[in-house]
Amino acid sequence: MLLSPRNAEIAAGLAERFVSVDVAPDNQAVVDGARVVIVCVRPQVAQSVLAELSFPADRVVISAMAGVSVEALQRLVAPATDVARVIPLPSVARREGLTPVQPPNAAATALFDRLGEAVELADVKAFDALSASTATIAAHFAYLNAIAAWLELQDIPAPAARRYVASMFAGLAEATRSGEPFERLAREHATPGGTNEQFRDGLERAGTFEHVSLGLQRVLDRLNRT
């Protein structure tokens, strides 16, 4: 595996950890030496970074850039045409990721099946919607932080508050993997007249969940404009 030297510290660290990893002298050397090229630069610099490179026609190009369409990427990497988009999440590092691939692509699917599971999508709208949903990750951690911060106000030391909140939500992960609808899980964890019901109903009355939908739609609209 060849790595770009773009982030020298991270590349050197990976090369030190894995005998199968080498750091190329520059980005063109990566393109020349790899049959499958994974593009992970920020969308804002894609034009400037990729315009400097020459892609052979037989290269497979896999993009992890949000909001850059297959058609736009094909223009940037021409004459290469075998292009796919993916949405790898942090869980791929534990080989637990569920990674959408659009359009279906044998090389991308084979790669991400090794890192959990690949899901091939022909529909670009479905892919874009899944991409938009990943914008909720930072908000999820902010939600956990709000709970931990409240616990600190109750004189619980910050490390203990963080550990407790992390343990509480990690323990719920198994339930989410069951395949049950989230709405059903919400009902099952809200005893009638209980505190979970009280808290959930308060969020509903405040319009919190409606704002989640509105925020996701704004993200999707932004992705569609790029």
Model confidence pLDDT, tens digit, residues 53-112: 999 999 999 999 988 999 999 999 999 999 999 999 989 989 988 999 999 999 999 999
Find all residues with CB under 8 Å of 11, minimum gap 6, and list them.
Answer: 3, 4, 5, 23
State the pLDDT confidence band at 225, using cuts at 50, 70 and 90. confident
pLDDT more than 70, % of the chain = 100
Query: What is the C-alpha separation between 191 and 146, in angstroms, rounded?
Result: 23
Average of pLDDT values for 7-20?
A: 86
pLDDT more than 90, % of the chain = 74
Q: Kindly report the pTM of this predicted structure.
A: 0.85
Amino acid at 214: L
Residue-wise pLDDT for 135-172, tens only, equals 999 999 999 999 999 999 999 999 999 999 999 999 88
| Per-residue pLDDT at 121 | 96
Find all residues with CB under 8 Å of 14, minimum gap 6, and list them.
Answer: 3, 21
Q: Nearest to residue 223, comparing CAs of 127, 138, 140?
A: 127
Indicate the average pLDDT of the chain.
93
Domains of the chain (ranges; CATH) run 35-122 (3.40.50.720), 135-225 (1.10.3730.10)
State the pLDDT confidence band at 5, using cuts at 50, 70 and 90. confident
| Per-residue pLDDT at 226 | 67
Query: What is the C-alpha separation between 19 and 175, in angstroms, rounded?
Result: 38
Q: Which tops the pLDDT comparison, 10 or 105?
A: 105
Q: Which tops the pLDDT comparison, 102 or 13?
A: 102
State the pLDDT confidence band at 180, using cuts at 50, 70 and 90. confident
- Per the document, the length of the chain is 226
Decide: 197 and 191 in contact? Cβ < 8 Å.
Answer: yes
| Per-residue pLDDT at 19 | 85
